[in-house]
Amino acid sequence: MTTPLLPTTTTDGLSFELLGEVRGWRDGTEIPLGAPRQRALLAVLLLRAGSPVGRDQLIDGIWGDTTVADGANLVQAYVSKLRRLFEPARAPRAAGGVLTRVGASYRLSIGPTQYDLGRFEQSVADARTLRSAGRSEAAERALAAALDSWAGPALTGVSGPLLDVERARLAELRLAAVEEHAELALHLGGHARLVPHLLVLTTEHPYRERLWALLMIALYRGSRQADALAAYQRARNTLTENLGLLPGPELRGIEEAILAGRPDPLALAPVHPVHPVHPAPDAAPAHDTPPYRTEPATRRPHLALVGTGSAGPAPRAFAHGPWTDAGARLAR
């Protein structure tokens, strides 16, 4: 299993970060990555690590509709500077081993453990495997470690049409992992610790019905039935007044269970899948699609109110990551 913690030094000594500022290290020393456009080019290559990225795609992704007469020369100059930073001992005209040219494209050849996004994705996948195997505590730890790898809003300090889309996509990935971690924390008896964090999250993301559901369950499990019902009313008012929508079957089912004083259902609902980071060509950003209305209501089980019996030691404090969650608002 992969645990994303501090920047990882590998056999070639290079590691990178995207989940916050775009940064790089060689043999434990931070690399001066240069001007914002050069950092932006590196960010695009990191987002497609291991795959060739066309020169025209780099130009369009960084400059967009802005007229750049010498865009091809600028890309070549940035690539040359990055090669010298990554491989200072490389002979002048020798082929690079990290940042290589493939026809009219460039490829950054690094493994998933060499950058924080790769480690984050691997840890989320590991957590799902552990959860499917019934190892909830280990899954919770894997998700907490994944969320700890975020130093701030992704791609801070770089801009461009492609990077703006990816910034929103990455924020959605993080928020989905936050929701999954909260579900596991509930399963492990951490409802008291969750309530303050979920109150903040539902304020920042008022249209995420899953967050309202988690808040209602956490309150209900803490013998706060009235507060859980008040949370439902806040969610309902937000949806109806701002969007003209009624709460979905998940929230309505939880409200009915609370009003009836029914025992908790037997198990958590299935984990919501996290969309891949790399979009298909011309794909719309993930945040343009309503996150919880992609299946017919008859096929969507309610989020379960997990049983109150002991499920092992309570988890540590709910993992938001070390930065305010306000940066994830792009995921709405």
Chain segment 181-223, per-residue pLDDT in tens: 999 999 999 999 999 999 999 999 999 999 999 999 999 999 9
CA torsion angle for 114, 58, 328, 182 (degrees, to 10)? -40
Q: What is the pLDDT of residue 263?
A: 72
The average pLDDT across 8-35 equals 86
Here the CATH number for the domain that contains residue 106 is: 1.10.10.10
Dihedrals phi, psi of 252, to nearest 5 degrees? -65, -40
Could you tell me if residue 137 is inside a domain?
A: yes
The average pLDDT across 137-160 equals 94
User: In one letter, which amino acid is 67?
Assistant: T
Specify the range with the lowest mean pLDDT, choosing from 88-102, 148-162, 256-270, 284-298: 284-298
> What total of structural domains would you count in the chain?
1
Q: What is the pLDDT of residue 12?
A: 61
**CA geometry: angle at 27 spanning 24 and 31, to 5°?**
30
Q: What is the pLDDT of residue 71?
A: 87
The average pLDDT across 16-36 equals 95
Could you tell me if residue 229 is inside a domain?
A: no
Could you tell me if residue 33 is inside a domain?
A: yes
Q: What is the pLDDT of residue 97?
A: 85
SS3 at position 207: coil
Question: Could you give the strand order of the β-sheet that contains 99-102, starting from the edge strand earlier in sequence?
Answer: 53-54, 105-108, 99-102
The two three-digit tokens of residue 45, written as one number: 């290559």
Could you tell me if residue 93 is inside a domain?
A: yes
Could you tell me if residue 99 is inside a domain?
A: yes
Could you tell me if residue 276 is inside a domain?
A: no
pTM here is 0.77
Q: How does the average pLDDT of the chain come out, rounded? A: 80
Q: Would you place residue 11 in the very low, low, confident or very high pLDDT band (cuts 50, 70, 90)?
A: very low
**Residue among 66, 31, 61 nearest 47 (CA):** 61
DSSP 241-295: HHHS----HHHHHHHHHHHHTPPPPSSPPPPPPPPPSSPPTTPPPGGGS-TT-SS
Dihedrals phi, psi of 294, to nearest 5 degrees? -95, -5
Specify the range with the lowest mean pLDDT, choosing from 115-119, 217-221, 259-263, 323-327: 323-327
Q: What is the pLDDT of residue 131?
A: 95
Domain ranges, residue 76: 1-186
CA distance 159 to 166: 10
Could you tell me if residue 288 is inside a domain?
A: no
163, 155 Cβ separation under 8 angstroms? yes
Could you tell me if residue 252 is inside a domain?
A: no
Residue 316: is its pLDDT beyond 70? no
Number of Cβ within 10 Å of residue 32's Cβ equals: 7
Check residues 195 and 332 and name the one with the higher pLDDT.
Answer: 195
Q: What is the pLDDT of residue 136?
A: 95
160, 40 Cβ separation under 8 angstroms? yes
Instruction: Encode pLDDT of 252-288 as tens digits.
Output: 999 999 998 887 643 334 444 444 444 444 434 333 3
The average pLDDT across 129-155 equals 95
Residue 243: is its pLDDT beyond 50? yes
